[in-house]
Amino acid sequence: MSERYFPDGMPPPLADPTTLPWWEAAADHRLVVQRCADCQATRLPPAPVCAACRSTEFDWTEVPGAGSVYTFTIVHRPIAADQQLPFVIAVVALENSGGLRMISNLVEVDPDDVEIGMALEVVWEDMSEDLAIPRFRPQRA
């Protein structure tokens, strides 16, 4: 992405020991999800314990960064000064992720053109040298 989605001054996300590997992968423009080492259940956002089997053992698996709009909302009121309106917040159903969904922003699309089921692809907003945020845009042919 060439332009910033949110204006300067927005606080950056904070990584903790559980989420740090996710943010490190994002900085490399890789979308990853946690996978339980015992039962193979996937999870996002990252958590220290598997909800399916209560295991604390896990690894990370990369997903392709494709998905579809599960649901969305169009925001017409700013949450930060100098923010461009309207903007779209969507729940994205991630392909090849074990049924996971993630909340993100949709970019490079007119809000009036967004619809449930729309095919999406990840794009990365580089906030700094070691911080990138995944956004989604309509899938290009």
pLDDT tier at 45, thresholds 50, 70, 90: very high
Per-chain mean pLDDT for the chain: 92
CA atoms of 13 and 5, how far apart (whole Å): 14
How many other β-carbons are positioned within 10 Å of the β-carbon of residue 116? Answer: 12
Residue 10 has pLDDT above 70, yes or no: no
Residue 1 has pLDDT above 90, yes or no: no
Residues 111-124 have pLDDT tens digits of: 999 999 999 999 99
Mean pLDDT of the 10-31 span = 91
How many other β-carbons are positioned within 10 Å of the β-carbon of residue 87? Answer: 18
Mean pLDDT of the 30-52 span = 97
Show the 3-state SS of 33-69: EEEECCCCCEECCCCCCCCCCCCCCEEEEECCCEEEE
The answer to whether 46 touches 34, Cβ cutoff 8 Å, is: yes
CA atoms of 141 and 130, how far apart (whole Å): 30
The whole-model pTM stands at 0.89
CA atoms of 122 and 2, how far apart (whole Å): 14
Q: What's residue 81's pLDDT?
A: 75
Residue 94 is inside which H or E element, if any? strand 87-94
DSSP at 10? P
